Structure 1
Amino acid sequence: MTEALLTHPRLITLEGGEGAGKTSAITAVRELLQARGHDVALTREPGGTPLAERIRELLLDPRDEALAPETELLLMFASRAQHVRQVLRPALQRGAFVVSDRFTDSSYAYQGHGRGLDAEWIAALERRAVGLKPGLTLLLDLDVREGRARTAGRDLWPDRIESEQDDFFERVRAGFRARALAEPGRFRLIDASQPPVAVGAAVTDALSAYLGTLTDSDLA
């Protein structure tokens, strides 16, 4: 790939910490886009292709040896590079909206702020291995303790990330909020502490407003 970073208006991502309710928000996004007659491709990270899903298992399986932060970051971008080539670019080229549960902002938050890795290194990987930036990112923001309480007992065996301590997730949340503050034109901050119906309404309002800014060439 080239080192150009292209913002694509039909790439929509959802970000947030543990328990923020991204699954329900993605459903709201898909339903609104389909109601307006758009082709929608749903996907997730890490994962989205058979190979990327295998990398996901390496990243999240707590039974394996501990991952060095650098290993975690490079595996994330290996998965993401495959995801972009096999799923995102083909779907965007056919005119679909791509809605992804997590994208590169998660690497800045989790591996950058959470693990303490250099943001410039992440940015270089983003340019060279990904080349795409979302036109819209919906950030579901939630207090860490509330999010952890929501996910308590959800999985019998928490994965590698879920097993981290609260201070790690506080850094991750700060990382996401810093990203949103730095790029207010792309991010929409959603208060995920609200009841699910209110969160869904906030998501669809933000998406509707964004769609209203798109031109015919953006949708082509």
Structure 2
Amino acid sequence: MNGRGKFISFEGIDGSGKSTQARALADHLRGAGHEVVLTREPGGSPGAEEIRRLVLEGDPDRWSAETEILLFTAARRDHVEKTIRPALEAGKVVITDRFADSTRLYQGITRGDLRGLVDRLHEMMIGVEPDLTFVIDMDPGTGLSRALGRQGTEERFEAFGEELQVKMRAGFLDLARQFADRCVVIDGGRAIEAVAADVARTAEARLGAPEGTEPR
């Protein structure tokens, strides 16, 4: 994918503010002249959005971790085929709220020793990694309170409680060290504007000026 568009992902525990920061970065980059596609996982394409409802709603014990891995991989494959790859091939910046790192943790580590299975399926069926990943770091208790405060219908994973969020935070920080070439950890426990400014500076440094514009 390098040499065409650029692919940016946002990761973090539930309630970390990553969705807000993904939207803020999309707005910032559009203002700077980039063509941007803002998307999310699970979801981001019609088929993947149907799967989203299956995996994010209902009882916490609705699916086993193994079944979830297959569902998330199917959703991600459709997302890549229908949304991500066409946008990158058109030279656009794709920003996604979650990608494969979330599956590596939620299903691959915190709900069983299944990381190897996640990585094998990713290599076989997806084969795409972001050029840049922002890990929005947040205290697990604060993040869970924020997430539950949304009072939406997609709270299946929040229902696992703070213990899962503690494991997820540690897992994301470990992944950031493992993939240090693409991952940048951002302190999400500050004002939204301060976090957004750090994200924008980092993204601009990686992306450069859009084609046809003069560098600032």
TM above 0.5: yes
- 1:111 aligns to 2:103 (yes or no): no
Please give the residue correspondences for 1:30-179 in structure 2 after superposition, counting only pairs within 5 Å.
30-63=26-59, 66-155=62-151, 157=153, 159-179=155-175
Aligned length: 212
**Unaligned stretches of 5+ residues in structure 1:** none
Which region of structure 1 is more displaced relative to structure 2, 29-38 or 136-145?
A: 29-38
SS at match of 1:147: helix
In structure 2, distance between residues paired with 1:63 and 1:7:
43
TM-score (norm 2): 0.90
Which region of structure 1 is more displaced relative to structure 2, 195-204 or 75-84?
A: 195-204
In structure 1, distance between residues paired with 2:2 and 2:58:
35
Once the 2 structures are TM-superposed, how far is the Cα of residue 72 of structure 1 from its aligned partner?
0.8
Q: Deviations over 1:145-186 (max 9, x none)?
A: 011122233115552112112111111111111110111110
In structure 1, distance between residues paired with 2:7 and 2:206:
12
Whether contact under 8 Å (2:13, 2:169) holds in the other structure is yes
Residue identity in the other structure for 2:41: E
The percentage of aligned residue pairs carrying the same residue is 37
CA change 1:28–1:153 in 2 (3 A) is closer
SS at match of 2:113: coil
TM-score (norm 1): 0.88
CA RMSD of aligned residues (A): 2.3
In structure 2, distance between residues paired with 1:105 and 1:63:
23
